[in-house]
Amino acid sequence: MTQINQYINQAAVIKDTDLFDSDVDMGLGVFESQKVPANILQEYVLGSGSENFLTKRGAGGVGISDSIIQDAGSNIGIGVAPSAGILFYMFNTSNDNSNTAVFNTQNTVNAPETSVGLSVANSNSGGADTLGINVIAANFGSGSAYIGRFQDGSEGLGKVLTDIDGSGTATWQTASGGSNIYSANGVLTSDRVVGVGAYRLSFDDVYVFGTTHPVYANKVGVNTLTPSAVLSVKGLGTTSATYAAAFENSIGTNLFQILDNGDIGGVRISSNRGGSDNLTFGVNAGNSLNLSSNSNVLLGSGSGSSISSATTNIGVGSLTLAAVTTAPENVAVGHGACQNITNSGNTGIGYAACAGSGGNGYENVAIGNRALVGFSSGHSNVVVGARSGTGITTGFQNVIIGSNTGNLLTTQSNQLIIDVTNTATPLLQGDFSARTLIINGDFAATGTVVNFANLPTSSAGLIAGDIWNNSGIINIV
């Protein structure tokens, strides 16, 4: 072309022998060894071009000029100068934020908006450099419609196009991990909120109803589509062979069960941490029961928490029998009743009744708030009355009746005290070992009163059950 321009500029006569080795068909006929007519030169050849630009015919088919295509030898640019390292570089001169198409393919039948193909649009809204790819429509096969098709040999049903190296290299991968739990197992990496609204979210047989559901709003049904409560669980049958609910610890121990026949099970630990016929209920109740412990009833937080192999104990109330390990046959009712005892046969009814101070006392009976609360090794004491016998530590075989009485006793034994106050002269005072009874007050009777003067003044010759006057005190043989 440069040579042609040279000839034109010199107004020379173009001959085919100057340009070609033989006649060449250029679409205008065959140049022969003769002068080119001036009108042909004017119409088809005259004009100028820039380096590396492909030329095009001028307006109206007259002359030649630069096109938008530039060829640098190893790189091509359309609308922009070729860039090193980019084989094909295309640039849209429009910058009007109007999604002007940079590259578009379509068929020859349909209008562009319904045609088959791909449109790459300029969409730098707000001045940001962005790339928009819009697949308008695509029909592949027998009329089936798809948005697009990308094939590299790794495609497959349910796969996703994934960046595999962090630099934009993408291939089809099986969806897994991260927060994708829709087509495979996965782990959420942040909170997700699913608005159910007036619909139902189902997980097999678990149904979660939305806040605006017309019938079951804010309810969850397990194995039921008609929940009657916030959490409604429908069992699997009507007998004790199946459960409506069951709770276990981390090693599979039954903690609590609701059977389909209405019974409550699982509070028995006989098949796990205990032997047979143990009943426990409450945090840490019977926490240490082993296979040698039988027939214990422990109800309340911490009740019998140290019992290991003991049998036939009953504790009702928090911390009852909390220190017992192997001792049997204790009964404690009330918070802290018999809390510190370690021996057997004790009965405490009332708050801290027969609580003890940690000794090995046995066969004591205490009824009343804090009755016999401080004993250690004392045994066989009977105390009835709130806050009575609180001072007894090692005394044994004492009988105390009445509120707030007998508290002066500590290590004494075989004493009888009946009163309603803590006094050194109770209304009735006796000594079982000495077989004496003292009445601190007046004595009256509606029947015959014994005449002391008629009583023997010595026990000589008397038999068991006889009475005698011992210096003004009635003694019983």
For 356, the 3-state DSSP assignment is coil
Concatenating the DSSP letter of every residue in 358-378 gives S----S-EEESTTTTTT-SS-
281 in Cβ contact with 275 (< 8 Å): no
For 170, the 3-state DSSP assignment is strand
Please give the order of strands across the beta sheet that includes 64-71. Answer: 53-57, 64-71, 76-78, 88-90
Task: DSSP letter for 25, please.
Answer: B
Per-residue pLDDT, 299: 92
Query: Which residue(s) pair with 365 in the sheet?
Result: 347, 382
- Cα(424)–Cα(416) distance, integer angstroms: 12
- Cα(253)–Cα(269) distance, integer angstroms: 8
Residue 446 identity (one-letter amino acid): T
Cα 38 to its chain centre, rounded Å, is 92
Question: Model pTM greater than 0.75?
Answer: no
Torsion angle of the four alpha carbons 350, 356, 357, 362, in this order, in degrees rounded to the nearest 10: -160
328 in Cβ contact with 304 (< 8 Å): no
Query: Alpha carbon of 342 to those of 97, 231, 359: distances in Å?
Result: 88, 44, 7
Q: Which of 379, 436, 440 is nearest to 405 (CA)?
A: 440
Task: DSSP letter for 380, please.
Answer: S
Per-residue pLDDT, 388: 97
Task: DSSP letter for 453, please.
Answer: G
- Cα(78)–Cα(143) distance, integer angstroms: 35
Task: DSSP letter for 215, please.
Answer: T
For 253, the 3-state DSSP assignment is coil
Burial profile 419-433: b = 16 or more Cβ within 10 angstroms, e = fewer? beebbeebbebbeee
For the chain, 477 residues long, give each residue's pLDDT as a single digit of tens.
Answer: 444 444 444 443 444 444 444 444 444 444 444 455 555 555 555 566 788 888 887 777 677 788 888 888 888 888 888 887 788 877 766 655 554 556 666 555 555 444 445 555 554 444 444 444 555 544 444 444 555 667 777 888 878 888 888 887 888 887 654 445 555 666 667 777 888 888 888 888 888 888 888 899 999 999 999 999 999 999 999 988 888 888 888 888 777 788 888 777 655 443 345 678 888 888 788 889 888 999 999 999 899 999 999 999 999 999 999 999 999 999 999 999 999 999 999 999 999 999 998 778 999 999 999 999 999 999 999 999 999 999 999 999 999 999 999 999 999 999 999 999 999 999 999 999 998 889 998 877 776 666 777 788 888 988 887 888 888 777 888
What percent of the residues of the chain are helix, what percent strand, and what percent coil, each to the nearest 5?
Answer: 5, 25, 65
* Contacts for 438-444: CB closer than 8 Å, 24+ residues apart: 438/473
For 60, the 3-state DSSP assignment is helix
Phi, psi of 424 (to 5 degrees): -80, -15
Half-sphere exposure in the Cβ direction for 202 (13 Å, CA): 8
310 in Cβ contact with 292 (< 8 Å): no
Per-residue pLDDT, 128: 45
